Amino acid sequence: MLWVIALFLGLAIVYLAARYGRFRSWVEPVLSIAVAVGLAAAFLVWLSESTPDAPAPAPAPRPAGLAPSDIALDNLAFERNQAERSYRLRGTARNKSSITLEYFRLTVTLEDCPESGCTRVGDDTALVLVRVPGGETRPFETFLTFPFREDEAPRAPKWSYRILETKGATAR
């Protein structure tokens, strides 16, 4: 809406300057100053937007707590799910520390290993929500999805995994 008003005002000024010589004598310097101020403002806005932001502060060091090495996964079973490219993973999580485990992130790599060698199919990372008190074992279940076509399903699947992140319960 503002641009319509500015356009109308600009056309009126041009018309009056062309029609009346007295109007032209004082409007030319005023318009020249207005254009110079507008260009300076545009330059300052461009300059302020192009300066890089301050770098984000480094994350605080992680306090001593639950580490991925404190979790052991046992009895892992990978079953083909009803959905294509999807697998159900069942197993047990053993907490070797004294801190209660709330969840962990698990990255699983699927490879197809027929007789001639292994071909990497893909990776999937799952968030496994399982509460395991220190020194205890609990079952868990999650689903994984891998990128392959239906006609290229792995004939001899080989699984490898690693725990990326763990979260222990905090004292309340």
- 76-85 confidence digits (pLDDT tens): 998 887 666 7
Q: What's the pLDDT tens digit per position in 127-139?
A: 999 999 989 999 9
Closest CA to 163 of 148, 145, 142: 142
Q: Say which residue the tokens 């806005």 belong to.
A: 45
pLDDT of residue 150: 65
Q: Domains in the chain, please, with CATH?
A: 2-50 (no CATH), 68-168 (2.60.40)
* pTM exceeding 0.95: no
Instruction: State how far the Cα of 89 lies from the Cα of 108, in Å rounded to an integer.
Output: 10
pLDDT of residue 45: 79
Task: Out of 5-9, 36-40, 115-119, pick the least confident.
Answer: 5-9
Residue 166: is its pLDDT beyond 70? yes
Alpha-carbon dihedral 45, 46, 47, 52, rounded to 10 degrees: 110
Share of the chain above pLDDT 90, in %: 27
pLDDT of residue 84: 67
Residue 121: is its pLDDT beyond 70? yes
